Amino acid sequence: MKIIADENIPCVEQAFASLGDVELLPGRGMRPEQVRDADILLVRSVTRVDEGLLAGSKVRFVGSATIGFDHVDREYLRGRGIGFSTAPGSNAISAAEYVISALMILAGKNRVDLDGKTAGIIGCGNVGSRVLEKFTALGIRCLVNDPPLKEQGGHDDYVELEALLQADIITAHVPLVSEGDHPTFHLLDRVFLEQLKPGAILVNTSRGPVADNYALDHLLAQRSELSVVLDVWEGEPEISMPLLEKVALGTPHIAGYSLDGKLRGTEMIYKAACQFLQRPVQWSAANELPATPPLDPGTFTVDDAGGNVRRAVLDCYDVREDDARLRAILSVPRQERPACFDRLRKEYPVRREFQTRKITSAGLDKTSQVVLRGLGFAC
């Protein structure tokens, strides 16, 4: 059995070796002739999977190691009887932790206390629900907008999008949808963006086109008091350099890139392929995860809950490091920038989730312990 896989899916060769011969290719440039003889195709969000790629191929199963599926023509796959699976929720914890790290950085920079602030969460699925939990642990009051979930019932407290404009923090966690009752393409458009309250923080870790990047660039040129955090961009990998220069934090689509999350995604599509082929599961992501050292209790200060939480979060993951790596492409020749953007993703350093970092109670006040547990740390 021949398996074609995106070279950036971690441990894909180890996972799928029992199912066939794995050939690795760059995901963004996959061509029909490369996948024609494949039985299984494994991709990420950078590969468009549709008739143009698969017509005349032998592909029987497509796995996407991502939480989204806007890059896949699912109707075409169903019509051809091709099995399909994504990895919903695989990087949800990682993406939520990215948001927390970014907020800790901005709160420290602006000398504000997050406790008592109001946040608007757009989309309360796998990622948004975890952001909600972590915001609540920090004492942040949350307003949630999710029309599809509200229509399913049981969410009468969800609010309209316009109600989020009163929030100090707005963060988007929705799939990219261009049609239907609830499209998200340019959901954050010029009209919405211009109504952000003074000093607001806006975070987008969903998909680049959810926020109108042109309108956002124009807005930030007029309102420098706003703090915008972008992990996703319109036109990736050829992103707007003027917008990158204006955002408070900018990263190369890596919010969900913890090693834990990426391996979770590999495992999910591997198990789905095994089920589709009726083959036994022989690989586990747990065997690939290295041990992590505990956080040094000497960095904490008694009765400094806010400082302790910030130190723990940033010791585990500091978004500024990824921001610095992306900003380095500002000095790169224009024609080389897209390749640099992709290389930052391909060569992303190992990052672990909060739950893997043990914190001893020595020198740590009770309030800090409660908050850190709520954020996912083991303490």
Strand-pairing partners, residue 358, are: 378
* Rounded Cα distance, 335 and 311, in Å: 39
What pLDDT does 67 receive? 84
Catalytic (active site) residue 253: yes
**Under CATH, to which class is 2-86+258-288 assigned?**
alpha beta
Residue 236 annotated to the active site: yes
CA pseudo-torsion sign 59, 276, 124, 116: negative
The CATH 3.30.1370.170 domain(s) of the chain lie at 297-375
Q: Tell me if 134 sits within 8 A of 376, measured CB to CB.
A: yes
Give 307's pLDDT tier (boundaries 50, 70, 90): confident
- φ, ψ at 81 (rounded to 5°): 70, 25
Q: Is the pLDDT of residue 377 over 80?
A: yes
- Whether 259 contacts 90, CB under 8 Å: no
More confident residue, 94 or 369: 94
Buried b / exposed e over 220-240, threshold 16 CB at 10 Å, is beeeeebbbbbbbbbebbebb
**Which helix or strand (DSSP H or E) is residue 259 part of?**
helix 259-277
Q: Given 236, 311, 351, 352, which residue is catalytic?
A: 236
pTM of the model: 0.91
φ, ψ (nearest 5 deg) of residue 54: -105, -10
What's the gap between Cα 362 and its chain centre?
33
Superfamily of domain 92-250: NAD(P)-binding Rossmann-like Domain (3.40.50.720)
Question: DSSP letter at 5?
Answer: E
In the set 28, 44, 130, 253, the catalytic residue is 253
Does residue 364 surpass a pLDDT of 90?
no
CATH number of the domain located at residue range(s) 297-375 in this protein? 3.30.1370.170
Mean pLDDT of the chain: 95
374 pLDDT higher than 90: yes
Residue 81, burial from CB neighbour count under 10 angstroms (0-12, 13-18, 19+):
exposed
Look at 58 and 365; give whichever has higher pLDDT.
58
**pLDDT one-digit tens code per residue, 61-112:** 999 999 888 899 999 999 999 999 999 999 999 999 999 999 999 999 988 8
Residue extent(s) of CATH 3.40.50.720 domains in the chain: 2-86+258-288, 92-250
Summarize pLDDT for 174-185 with one digit per residue, the tens: 999 998 999 999
pLDDT at 370 over 70: yes
Token duo for residue 89:
């929720």
Q: Rounded CA gap, 195 and 210, in Å?
A: 17
Point out the catalytic residue in the list 130, 207, 264, 352: 207
**Distance in angstroms (rounded) separating the CA atoms of residues 259 and 351:** 6
182 counts as catalytic: no
